[in-house]
Amino acid sequence: MAFIIEEGELAGWPNYSWAVKRLPEDMAEVKTVKEAVESSAKIRGDKIYAIYADTGDKVTYSEFNKEANRIANALLELGVKKGDRVALFLRNSLDYLRAIYACAKIGAIEVPVNWFYRELDAKHVIGNSESSTIFVEADLLPVVESIKENLPHLKNIIVRGDGKAGYFDMGSLDGKSTDPEADVGAEDPMAIIYTSGTTGLPKGAVLSNKSYVLSAQAITLWMVDESANDYTGLPLFHINAQIYSSLGMMFAGGTLTLRSLFSVSNFWQDISTYNCTHFNLLGSLANILYSLPPVEYEKDNPAKYVIIGGMPKEIWRGFEERFGVEVLEGYSMTEDPLPCLNPPGEYKKLGSFGVPVFPDLGHEAKIVDENGNEVERGKTGELVRKNPAQMLGYYKAPEKTAEIVKGGWLYSGDFAKMDEKGYLYFVDRKKFIVRRSGENIASWEIEDVIKSHPKVQDAAVIPVADPIRGEEIKVFILPREGIKPEEIIEYMAGKVAYFKIPRFIEFVQMLPYTPTGRVKKWQLKEMEKEKTDHGWDRDKEIPDWRKRFGAK
């Protein structure tokens, strides 16, 4: 039985029929992201849609729609058409938002690229998606230039910032300001979001317009309405900022306040300056805020809620009391963005990420064993879900899609429990990845780089618990000859994004292997669970390592 509140003002929660009653009639009828931008401009007009916290720049709903139109129509003039992939190698900005919605308006498929990526990762995402056009920050242009010869589909390079001869200038794109005529449907792809793989290169989850629209509309279940001002410094290359903050505010009729990057020093002042009613965090960021000594603005801030995934249970109540906000916990994944939400008010359960929203649209969840059989309530198993907002599949990887979508059920790779009322509780990750500050980092990728060092014979990466970032990276290295930890850090700098460089390094004389020659990483992980000292610590031994080795 699906969880549905049956009494009081929340009667009917979390049904879709309950949520859409909180939307303006035109927005309730919206089926695509294109329609959402255009309808919200007609309804909200001169109301502020977005604020860029770094500079204070603001844009109204009407202005934003026209600016997105100019870029959209300019893309059409460049030959970009419905179904073409457009890579966005940009940092958080109002321009990033304009580019996202410009693509949506003509049915082009946006492909966000993590701005920390360097040649290896960027080439895979841009190349695998067969992107024909890319928007790129001026200082990231050298990355694109170094790989463009290996990107046969790439035709248009549009630079944001100080332009360079031979490329299009984003600031000079000036198509017509009218809504482009494009036939975009609910089932048409909206984006390809790449997720970190555990056994191979990142896979591109293809999300439809329906995925975006339904998932964004779910924000109204948390009493978010036109009075809301949502603050986020989470990156727009993830669905959290794209769907729940950016598009969610558009449906609610509220305001989005966007920071270029999560900043502890600006956090509470931003929220006070821009009168934000709530903010979005990851569990690791909540830990960071909670671990710091009290600062100005934090207690008397105007925020009422924090919308979060993975709030540590041990600081949940303390966080609410210290900062004067209510924790609204949720769960989703890139491949399946329609969330599970913890009910507000008296129905909330501490430590739970809630229940499947929109059960009246067929959103179901169950906990299964290794054979796919549903387990008893209270027992641990893998969380699997079925709903109309699931990804259309992994781009050009039907065999990978078949591995996690079986009979319409999407297998999350996460261990969880469900109680008698239907509330869900996260237990652990089945996939062997490191989740550091919200980034999913594949262990194999780090191992491959380390093993390419001539002094290294083998390496095994595991996650170790960290009170601030959730998890940190530890690597066990079997050396061929004498080598120092500093050499590993220097070797990896420039080859991978800085957050993929291990913090803890331990040299060993042997590694535990299976009969087929695979390292028993689960054994290493169990060994580290009881330890508080994980060995040589990069941050203690080389506190200026990023500057010294040029890690970006």
What is the tens place of the pLDDT at every residue in 218-227?
999 987 899 9
What is the tens place of the pLDDT at every residue in 426-452?
886 676 678 788 777 777 778 888 988
Mean pLDDT of 382-400: 97
Judged against a pLDDT cut of 60, whether residue 62 lies above it is answered with yes
pLDDT-derived band at 311 (thresholds 50, 70, 90) equals confident
Please state, rounded to an integer, the average pLDDT across all residues of the chain.
93
Q: What is the pLDDT of residue 95?
A: 98
Q: What is the pLDDT of residue 198?
A: 43
Q: What is the pLDDT of residue 73?
A: 98
pLDDT-derived band at 551 (thresholds 50, 70, 90) equals confident
Judged against a pLDDT cut of 80, whether residue 213 lies above it is answered with yes
Judged against a pLDDT cut of 90, whether residue 359 lies above it is answered with yes
What is the tens place of the pLDDT at every residue in 263-310?
999 999 999 999 999 999 988 788 889 888 998 888 889 999 999 998
Q: Which of 355, 377, 412 is the last residue of a domain?
A: 412
List strand residue ranges (DSSP E) for 371-479, in order.
Answer: 381-386, 393-394, 405-406, 409-418, 424-429, 433-436, 439-442, 456-466, 470-479
323 and 405 share one domain: yes
The CA-atom distances, in angstroms, between 96 and each of 14, 92, 112, 259, 473 are: 32, 6, 10, 12, 30
Q: Which of 364, 380, 412 is the last residue of a domain?
A: 412
What is the tens place of the pLDDT at every residue in 105-128?
999 999 999 998 889 889 999 999
Residue-number span of the structural domain to which 525 is assigned: 433-549
Inside any domain, residue 180:
yes
Judged against a pLDDT cut of 50, whether residue 456 lies above it is answered with yes
128 and 236 share one domain: yes
236 and 356 share one domain: yes
Q: What is the pLDDT of residue 438?
A: 77
Which residues in 170-186 are b (16+ Cβ under 10 Å) and which e?
beebebeeebbebebeb
Inside any domain, residue 419:
no
Q: What is the pLDDT of residue 314?
A: 81
Classify residue 434 as left (phi > 0), alpha (psi -120 to 50) or beta. beta
Q: What is the pLDDT of residue 515?
A: 46
In the chain, the number of structural domains is: 2
Q: What is the pLDDT of residue 199?
A: 47
232 and 321 share one domain: yes
391 and 524 share one domain: no
Cα distance between residue 386 and residue 335, in whole Å: 11
Cα distance between residue 338 and residue 211, in whole Å: 7
473 and 329 share one domain: no
Inside any domain, residue 483:
yes
- The H or E element spanning position 506 is strand 504-507
Structure tokens, 76: 């059409």
Q: Does residue 94 or residue 22 have the better pLDDT?
A: 94
What is the tens place of the pLDDT at every residue in 231-264?
999 999 999 999 999 999 999 999 999 999 999 9
What is the tens place of the pLDDT at every residue in 508-523?
999 987 544 667 787 8
Structure tokens, 33: 């992201």
List strand residue ranges (DSSP E) for 179-254, in order.
Answer: 189-195, 203-208, 229-232
Number of residues assigned to the chain: 552
Closest listed residue to residue 87, CA positions, set 115, 63, 60, 66: 115
Inside any domain, residue 422:
no
List strand residue ranges (DSSP E) for 342-395, in order.
Answer: 355-356, 364-368, 381-386, 393-394
Inside any domain, residue 21:
no
Neighbours of 141 (CB within 10 A): 21
Q: Which of 383, 412, 441 is the last residue of a domain?
A: 412
Q: Does residue 414 or residue 31 have the better pLDDT?
A: 31
Q: What is the pLDDT of residue 514?
A: 55
207 and 162 share one domain: yes
Please tell me what DSSP assigns to residue 38. H
pLDDT-derived band at 534 (thresholds 50, 70, 90) equals very high
Q: What is the CATH number of the domain that holds 514?
A: 3.30.300.30
Judged against a pLDDT cut of 90, whether residue 420 lies above it is answered with yes
393 and 477 share one domain: no
Q: What is the CATH number of the domain that holds 197?
A: 3.40.50.12780
509 and 452 share one domain: yes
Inside any domain, residue 476:
yes
291 and 202 share one domain: yes
Q: What is the pLDDT of residue 228?
A: 96
Closest listed residue to residue 447, CA positions, set 375, 516, 377, 524: 524
Inside any domain, residue 388:
yes
**Termini Cα distance of the chain:** 49
289 and 386 share one domain: yes
The CA-atom distances, in angstroms, between 259 and each of 92, 94, 303, 316 are: 7, 10, 16, 24
380 and 500 share one domain: no
Inside any domain, residue 15:
no
